Amino acid sequence: MIDCANSMLEVKTNVDILLIIPPFHIRNGGGAFFPLGLGYIISELDLAGYSWEVINCTEFIETFFKSDLEKLSNELKKSLLKYNPSVIGIGPCITTQVRALKIISDVCNNLFPNVPIFAGGPLASIENQEWFFHEELGIKYIIKGDGEKAVVDAVQTIKEGKKISDSKFVSYEGYSYVNYIEDINNIAFPYRSFDRNNRFSIRRSKGKKLQAAMIASRGCPYSCNYCVSGNLKYNNISYRRRDIRNIIDEMQKLNEEFGVDDIVFYDDCFFYNPQTVNIDVLAFCKSLSKRNIHLTWQIEMRPDVFCKLTDDSIIALNRSGCRQISLGIEKISSKGLSFLGKKNCWPKLSNQIKRIKCFSNISISATFILGGENETVEDIFDLIEQTKDLQLDFAHYNPLFVYPGTPIYDMVFENEKDWVSYILEDDLPWGEIVYETAILNKTKLLELVDFAYQEFYKNTPYASQQMIVDRFNLKE
Ligand code: B12
Ligand code: SF4
Whichever domain contains 159, its CATH number is 3.40.50.280
Indicate if the alpha-carbon torsion angle 5, 10, 13, 18 is positive or negative: positive
Q: Where are the alpha helices (DSSP H) in 160-276?
A: 244-258
Domain boundary among 179, 201, 225: 179
Q: How far apart are CA 169 and CA 147, in angstroms?
A: 9
- CA–centroid distance, residue 76 to ligand 2 (Å): 35
Identify the domain containing residue 229 by its residue range: 193-400
Predicted TM-score (pTM) above 0.75: yes
- Give me ligand 1 centre to Cα 311, in Å: 33
Burial degree of 63 (CB within 10 A; 0-12, 13-18, 19+): middle
The pocket around ligand 1, CB under 6 angstroms, is made up of: 19, 24-27, 30-33, 35-38, 40-41, 89-92, 94-96, 118, 120-123, 125, 143, 146-148, 151, 215, 227-229, 266, 268, 401, 403, 432
Distance 37 CA to ligand 1 centre (A): 8
Tell me the per-residue pLDDT of 343-367, one tens digit each, with 9 for 90 and over.
888 889 999 999 999 889 999 999 9
Q: How many domains would you assign to the chain?
A: 2
pLDDT at 460: 77
Q: Whose CA is nearest to atom 82 of ligand 1?
A: 94
Closest-lying ligand 2 atom to the alpha carbon of residue 330 = 1
Q: Give the pLDDT score at 43.
A: 96
> Residue 406: which pLDDT band, with cuts at 50, 70 and 90?
very high
Together in a domain, 220 and 342:
yes
Confidence at residue 209, expressed as pLDDT on a 0 to 100 scale: 75
Share of the chain above pLDDT 70, in %: 90
Side chain identity at residue 282, one-letter code: L
Q: Which among 156, 179, 202 is the end of a domain? A: 179
Instruction: Give the ranges where 90-238 is alpha helix by DSSP (H).
Output: 98-111, 122-125, 130-131, 148-159
Residue 136 lies in a domain: yes
CA 222 / ligand 2 centre spacing (Å): 6
How confident is the model over 73-88, as a mean pLDDT?
97
pLDDT of residue 27: 77
Backbone angles phi, psi at 327, to 5 degrees: -105, 135
Whether the CB-CB separation of 118 and 139 falls below 8 Å is answered with yes
211 and 339 fall within a common domain: yes
Do 32 and 74 reside in the same domain of the chain? yes
CA distance 327 to 343: 13
The whole-number average pLDDT for the span 110-122 is 97
d(CA 418, CA 397): 26
Which whole number is the average pLDDT over 330-336? 93
Please identify, by atom number, the ligand 1 atom nearest to the C-alpha of residue 38: 41
d(CA 18, CA 80): 9
Q: Is the pLDDT of residue 198 over 80?
A: no
Q: Please state, in angstroms and rounded to a whole number, the distance separating the CA atoms of residues 394 and 388.
A: 10
Q: Are residues 156 and 219 in the same domain?
A: no
Task: Specify the 3-state DSSP secondary structure of 41.
Answer: helix
Q: What is the pLDDT of residues 271-327, one digit of tens each?
A: 999 999 999 999 999 999 999 898 999 999 999 999 999 999 999 999 999 999 999
- Supply the CATH number for residue 218's domain: 3.80.30.20
* Residue 102: Cβ-neighbour burial (10 angstroms; 0-12, 13-18, 19+): middle
Strands 394-399 and 363-370 turn out to be parallel
Residue 415 lies in a domain: no
How high is the pLDDT of residue 32? 67
Question: Roughly how many angstroms between the first and final C-alpha of the chain, as a whole number?
Answer: 56
Clarify whether residues 207 and 76 are in a common domain: no
Same domain, 157 and 199: no
> pLDDT category, 196, cuts 50, 70, 90?
very low
What span, in angstroms and rounded, lies between the C-alpha atoms of 235 and 330?
A: 29
Average pLDDT for residues 94-119, to the nearest whole number?
97
Q: What is the pLDDT averaged over residues 167-188?
A: 96
Is residue 277, in this structure, part of any structural domain at all?
Answer: yes
The burial class, CB within 10 Å (0-12 / 13-18 / 19+), for 395 is: buried
pLDDT for res 471: 67
Residue 71 confidence (pLDDT): 98
Instruction: Note whether 116 and 88 are within 8 A (CB).
Output: yes
Residues 317 and 216 reside in one and the same domain: yes
Residue 96 lies in a domain: yes
Residue nearest (by alpha carbon) to ligand 1 atom 64: 94
407 domain residue, yes or no: no
Statement: residue 67 has pLDDT above 50: yes
Residue 340 Cβ inside 6 Å of ligand 2? The answer reads: no
Contact 289, 252 (CB under 8 A): no
| Å from CA of 94 to ligand 1 middle | 7
Instruction: With respect to residue 467, please indicate whether it lies within any of the assigned structural domains.
Output: no
On average, the pLDDT of the chain sits at: 91
Q: Is residue 306 part of a domain?
A: yes
* DSSP helix/strand/coil, 72: helix
pLDDT of residue 3: 45
Same-domain check for residues 44 and 134: yes
Residues 168 and 242 grouped into a single domain: no
Kindly state the average pLDDT of the residues 245-262.
Answer: 93
Q: Are 190 and 36 in contact (CB under 8 A)?
A: yes
The confidence band for 9, taking pLDDT boundaries of 50, 70 and 90, is: low
Distances (CA, A) of 2 to 7, 82, 359: 9, 18, 70
The answer to whether residues 211 and 94 belong to one domain is no
Give long-range contacts, CB 8 A cutoff, 24+ apart: 309-313. 309/277, 309/278, 309/281, 309/352, 309/356, 310/278, 311/355, 311/359, 312/278, 312/282, 313/277, 313/278, 313/281, 313/282, 313/285
Residue 345 maps to a domain: yes
Angle, helices 98-111/418-425, rounded to nearest 10 degrees: 100
Hey, is 407 helix, strand or coil? helix
Given a cut of 70, whether residue 55 has pLDDT beyond it is yes
pLDDT of residue 193: 66
pLDDT(166) > 70: yes
| Ligand 2 mean position, distance from CA 160 (Å) | 41
From the alpha carbon of 179, which atom of ligand 1 is closest?
Answer: 53
Q: Model confidence at 5, in pLDDT bands (50, 70, 90)?
A: very low
Is residue 278 within 8 Å of residue 313, measured between CB atoms? yes
Q: What is the dihedral of CA 143, 147, 151, 154, to 10 degrees?
A: -40
| Mean pLDDT value of segment 384-389 | 93
Q: Say if residue 171 is in the same domain as residue 257.
A: no
- Among 244, 321, 312, residue whose Cα is nearest residue 282: 312
- Convert the pLDDT of each residue in 428-461 to its tens digit: 999 999 999 999 999 999 999 999 999 999 877 7
How far apart CA 425 and CA 331 sit, in angstroms, is 30
Strands 209-214 and 262-265: parallel
- The whole-angstrom separation of Cα 11 and Cα 2 is 15
Ligand 2 centre from 133 Cα, in Å? 26
Count of Cβ atoms closer than 10 Å to residue 212 Cβ: 26
> Coil, helix or strand for 185?
helix
Work out the percent of the chain whose per-residue pLDDT is above 90.
80
Do residues 249 and 214 lie in contact, with contact meaning Cβ atoms separated by under 8 Å?
Answer: no
- Give the start-end residues of each E strand in 273-349: 296-301, 322-330
Q: Which ligand is nearest to the CA of 267?
A: 1
CA angle, residues 224, 397, 422, in degrees to nearest 5: 70
Last residue in a domain, options 179, 205, 240: 179
Helix, coil or strand: residue 238: coil
pLDDT bin (cut points 50, 70, 90) of residue 4 is: very low
**Which among 95, 150, 94, 96 has a CA at the least distance from the CA of 118?**
150
Ligand nearest to the CA of 55: 1
pLDDT at 186 over 50: yes
pLDDT score at 317:
97
The pLDDT-based confidence of 476 (bands split at 50, 70, 90) is low
Same domain, 62 and 90: yes
**pLDDT for the residue 454:** 92
Element (H, E) at 55: strand 52-56
